[in-house]
Chain A
Amino acid sequence: MTTLDTLHTAADSLKTAIATKTQDTGWIMHHILDSRELDFPPFGVIHLPEIHLFGIDLSITKHLVFIWLAVIILSFVLIRAAKSYKKSRIPKGFNNVLEVLIVFVRDEIAAPTIGKGFERFLPYLLTVFFFILTANFIGLVPYSSTSTSNISVTAALALISFAVIQIGGMMKNGVFGYFRGLIPHGIPSWLLPIMIVVELLGLFTKPFALAIRLFANMTAGHIVIMALIGLIFILRTYFVVPVSISFALFIYLLEILVALIQAYIFTMLSSLFIGMAVHQEH
């Protein structure tokens, strides 16, 4: 009964904390979480349409808007770059940056991890790299929101990655050949039941880890920045402002690095898993 009592009091204190709105986490969560409206303080709020189809809530949300923004920016920039290649062999200006990234994905991520036949996976890997990179960077712009800090978005990306890995493996080795190849050669037969479970679990943990990694990394930086800013209001003194601002700025710069690294890691690991599924002999 004592446990129940403490739980009661904990719940009560939480309720009062929320009710009094003195030190709640609502304003941090407001920045992190998805919502049905675009917030542009102090200019106003844009409410997004709600859509319900086939019993699924398909409403447009804040994160979806910024995904679409990323898609528009990416399409515009990349198609423009593709057109400039038709005109001349030599890239100019920003296309040089794009080319560096494209060649990096091709020669440093896809080619060494997938090996022979990596070309057919390049469109997926390039798209996922540029999409995550753009979404991460959009999240660093004021008034915007990081769509990759939403577990649903990263889960969707991981699901696509999972599909590409499985389909890639099955196309190369055949459906039965692929599942047979999952279990390593030359293990004792009494280990088979365990290995089958482990390998099947392994199939799902890989994309799960992808989703959680991206989500956690993109969320954490923002929460840390918010918490550092929140320190000013928690301590109720101006003296902490320089500390808060400089630390927040440092974390912000770190976030730029994290945005790049997470796009790289997601692509790199997807590529690695594709390579493992396609060339099972390793």
Chain B
Amino acid sequence: MLLSKVVAIIALSGGEAGGSPLDVNPGLILWTIITFILLMVILKKAAWKPILNSLSERELFIKDSLEKAEKARLDAEKLIQDNKSAMVKAEQEAQLLIEQTREYSEKLKSQMLDESKAQSAKMIDDAKAEIERKNQEAFVKLKNQVAEIAVDAAEKIIRSNLDKEKQVGIVNKYLDELQKN
């Protein structure tokens, strides 16, 4: 009796529509399950598989690309390093070459200078000796000539040693002749 009244009140409190939100409708449960399973099957085939596949494909692609880029970067860095070291080496070699050349040219220069100095000294010496020799020669020639002239003059003096006037005239005449010559 009590229970039936309680049930009646609960049923009535559901309102005029006669239903309660807690009413379970087995038909609707069945429909929902059928619909949901159909939806799942359709979407699995037509949507989830292609979408998830392309998503993971893309993730793989991005990962790959990033790895490749990283590798390329490392390669480029290595290349730059190589280039730098090669350049440094080349510069060192060039420096060495320049140094060697400079040394060689310095040596050559000093050698040539020494040689030419020695040569010029020798030439000066030669010239000096020649001058000395020529001087000597000229002196001997002059001496001979002076002696000859003196002898000539003496001869002429002696030849015209007749009178003083004549002698003076002869000497003057001779001197004039000398002067003319």
Contacts and interface: CB of A to CB of B under 8 A. Distances in A.
Nearest to A59: B27
- The DSSP consensus for interface residues of chain B is helix
Interface residues of B, number: 47
Interface string A164-204: 00000000000000000000000000000000000000000
Interface residues of A, number: 66
B44 A71 contact: no
B179 interface: no
A251 interface: no
Interface in A112-132: 119, 122-124, 126-128, 130-131
Contacts of A15: 12
Interface stretch (B31-39, B75-83, B146-154, B166-174): B31-39
A215 B24 CA distance: 12
B55 A3 contact: no
B39 to A, nearest CB: 5
Contacts of A231: none
B44 to A, nearest CB: 4
A4 B142 CA distance: 185
Contacts of A153: 28-29, 32
A170 B31 CA distance: 26
A268 interface: no
B51 A81 contact: yes
A57 B12 contact: no
A24 interface: yes
B43 A106 contact: no
Contacts of B43: 74-75, 78-79, 123, 126-127, 130
Contacts of B58: 89
A34 B25 contact: yes
A85 B9 contact: no
Interface in B61-84: 61
Task: Pick from B5, B23, B29 the residue with the most CB of A within 10 Å.
Answer: B29
Interface string B31-59: 11101111110111011111110110110
Interface string B1-26: 11001101100111111010111111
Ranked nearest first, the 7 interchain pairs of A and B with the lowest CB-CB distance are A156-B32, A78-B47, A152-B28, A85-B54, A123-B44, A26-B16, A82-B50
19 contacts: A4-B1, A7-B5, A11-B5, A11-B12, A14-B9, A32-B21, A57-B27, A58-B30, A74-B39, A78-B47, A82-B46, A89-B57, A89-B58, A106-B52, A106-B55, A123-B44, A123-B49, A156-B30, A159-B29
